[in-house]
């Protein structure tokens, strides 16, 4: 139902697109508090995608950024590559951002991130309003923001709460638990439960997957039970999605259920050799390069589903949710930006005419 409509629209868009250009664009931003493992995740994902990268297409906005020693990120940088996935060629860009600080500084930092996201929308708007549009114009919109949560407590920190609210008004936010190798199984489960409850039920932050009922949909939701706006808990959302699966065999709804039931996904980065900056070999006679970390008591592997959800995150952004995220970005966030901009430009024009005609408002 809901998600099917999305995919139908998208497939139409893609057919038109694929006739003109072979590549679809997908851009992911990584954000969160300082030291939560964002840069290490970017490096690990790039390393993991290596086998899918089309030769010669890897580009870094700052030279050697993936090879230099790991240190706190001071400015935005991006890593772009063309990836071949299921026969489709994707131009995939990761944007790493400096970690947020506690306290007042976060306002300034979030404003900067918001400006960056808006700037990408502005590029689309400029292109759209041209008389002759460039059909090969790059899509630089941010389709998803992987937000690395602070895991000090079993609930959202004030900083995360604030940042999630600000970001989710502009971009599809996907919360992530980084450095999962430092958590026991029990700690992970408690964190997941606590975060899910805070984001969806207690605070109703409209991150990716949250469904905001339209007024006319309110009465129909959840087995005929009347729901008021803002009362959609995780249980209700899952119930609605299951109805879509049962009634229409909706594949997108099924994909979304899989995500919502297990979010926030956990991940950890590989261990770097301090001299070479390359992933350390996990066993002395390792032939195939496995990404992970070695402890005295065990070896943890990034791509092992028993150890963390890294592979789920990878397939989420590279395949499973890519189309839904792109459509959502265009229809929800870009449309909102476009409407606001066009309205404010119209108001400015009217004001300027009034001033010119000497009818200055009192």
Ligand X SMILES: Nc1nc2c(ncn2[C@@H]2O[C@H](COP(=O)(O)OP(=O)(O)OP(=O)(O)O)[C@@H](O)[C@H]2O)c(=O)[nH]1
Contact footprint for Mg ion (CB under 5 A): 38-39, 73
Q: Does 35 bind ligand X (CB under 6 A)?
A: yes
- Stretch of 126-134, 174-182, 212-220, 256-264 contacting ligand X, by CB under 6 A: 174-182
Helices vs. strands in the chain: H and E counts, helices first: 10, 9
SS3 30: strand
Q: Is 246 exposed, middle or buried (0-12, 13-18, 19+ CB in 10 A)?
A: exposed
- Whole-angstrom distance, CA of residue 41 vs CA of residue 114: 22
CA-to-CA dists, residue 347 to 124, 125, 157, 336, 341, angstroms: 21, 18, 39, 17, 10
Q: Does 255 bind ligand X (CB under 6 A)?
A: no
DSSP for 107-176, written as a single string: HHHHHHHHHHHHHHHHHHHHHHTSSS--TT-------EEEEE---SSSS--HHHHHHHHHHTTTS-EEEE
Q: Does 53 bind ligand X (CB under 6 A)?
A: no
Among 11, 18, 182, 190, binds ligand X (CB under 6 A): 182
With respect to ligand X, which residue has the nearer C-beta, 156 or 257?
Answer: 156
C-beta separation of 228 from 290 below 8 A: no
259-298 positions binding ligand X, by CB under 6 A: 268-269
C-beta separation of 113 from 125 below 8 A: no
**H-helix or E-strand spanning residue 173:** strand 173-177
With respect to Mg ion, which residue has the nearer C-beta, 38 or 143?
Answer: 38
C-beta separation of 77 from 61 below 8 A: yes
Among 5, 16, 54, 70, binds ligand X (CB under 6 A): 70
Q: Does 73 bind ligand X (CB under 6 A)?
A: yes
CB of 167 to ligand X, least distance (A): 15
The partner in contact with residue 307, picked from Mg ion, ligand X, none with C-beta cut-offs of 5 to 8 angstroms by kind, is none
Tokens 């609210």: give the residue. 165
With respect to Mg ion, which residue has the nearer C-beta, 22 or 35?
Answer: 35
CB of 190 to ligand X, least distance (A): 19
**Total number of residues shown for the chain:** 362
Applying CB under 6 A, the site for ligand X has a residue count of: 18
User: What character string, x for contact with ligand X (CB under 6 A) and - otherwise, covers 327-346?
Assistant: --------------------
With respect to ligand X, which residue has the nearer C-beta, 268 or 337?
Answer: 268
- Stretch of 83-91, 173-181, 225-233, 281-289 contacting ligand X, by CB under 6 A: 173-181
Among 99, 175, 206, 264, binds ligand X (CB under 6 A): 99
Q: Does 39 bind ligand X (CB under 6 A)?
A: yes
With respect to ligand X, which residue has the nearer C-beta, 179 or 321?
Answer: 179
- Whole-angstrom distance, CA of residue 58 vs CA of residue 79: 7
- Detail the DSSP E strand segments found in 109-165: 144-148
- Whole-angstrom distance, CA of residue 47 vs CA of residue 53: 10
The partner in contact with residue 343, picked from Mg ion, ligand X, none with C-beta cut-offs of 5 to 8 angstroms by kind, is none
CB of 29 to ligand X, least distance (A): 13
CB of 176 to Mg ion, least distance (A): 14
- Stretch of 79-87, 176-184, 205-213, 252-260 contacting ligand X, by CB under 6 A: 176-184
Buried b (16+ CB within 10 A) or exposed e, 8-29: eebeeeeeebeeeeebbbbbbb
**H-helix or E-strand spanning residue 281:** none
Among 143, 170, 179, 196, binds ligand X (CB under 6 A): 179
Residues that bind ligand X (CB under 6 A): 34-40, 70, 72-73, 98-99, 178-179, 181-182, 268-269
């Amino acid at each position: 139902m809901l998600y099917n409509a999305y995919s139908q629209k998208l497939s139409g868009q893609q057919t038109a697109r694929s006739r003109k250009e072979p590549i679809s664009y997908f851009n992911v931003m990584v954000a969160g508090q300082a030291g939560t493992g964002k840069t290490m995740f970017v490096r690990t994902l790039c390393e993991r995608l290596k086998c899918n990268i089309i030769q010669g297409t890897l580009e870094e906005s700052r030279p050697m950024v993936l090879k230099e020693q790991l240190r706190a990120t001071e400015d935005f940088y991006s890593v772009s590559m063309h990836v071949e996935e299921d026969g489709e060629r994707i131009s995939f860009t990761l944007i790493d951002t400096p970690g947020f600080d506690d306290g007042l500084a976060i306002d300034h930092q979030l404003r900067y991130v918001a400006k960056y996201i808006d700037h990408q929308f502005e590029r689309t708007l400029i292109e759209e309003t041209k008389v002759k549009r460039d059909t090969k114009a790059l899509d630089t919109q941010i389709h998803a923001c992987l937000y690395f949560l602070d895991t000090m407590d079993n609930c959202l920190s004030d900083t995360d709460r604030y940042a999630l609210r600000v970001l989710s008004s502009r971009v599809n936010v996907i919360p992530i638990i980084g450095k999962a190798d430092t958590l026991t199984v029990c700690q992970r489960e408690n964190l997941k439960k606590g975060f899910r409850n805070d984001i969806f039920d207690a605070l109703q932050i409209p991150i990716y997957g949250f469904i905001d009922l339209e007024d006319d949909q309110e009465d129909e939701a959840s087995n005929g039970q009347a729901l008021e706006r803002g009362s959609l808990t995780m249980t209700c959302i899952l119930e609605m999605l299951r109805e879509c699966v049962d009634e229409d065999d909706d594949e997108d709804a099924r994909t979304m259920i899989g995500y919502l039931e297990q979010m926030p996904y956990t991940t950890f980065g590989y261990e770097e050799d301090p001299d070479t900056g390359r992933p350390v070999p996990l066993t002395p006679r390792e032939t195939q390069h496995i990404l992970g970390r070695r402890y005295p008591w065990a070896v943890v592997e990034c791509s092992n589903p028993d150890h963390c959800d890294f592979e789920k995150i990878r397939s989420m952004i590279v395949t499973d949710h890519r189309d839904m995220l792109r459509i959502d970005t265009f229809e929800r966030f870009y449309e909102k930006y476009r409407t606001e901009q066009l309205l404010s430009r119209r108001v400015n024009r009217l004001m300027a005419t009034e001033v010119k005609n000497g009818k200055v408002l009192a």
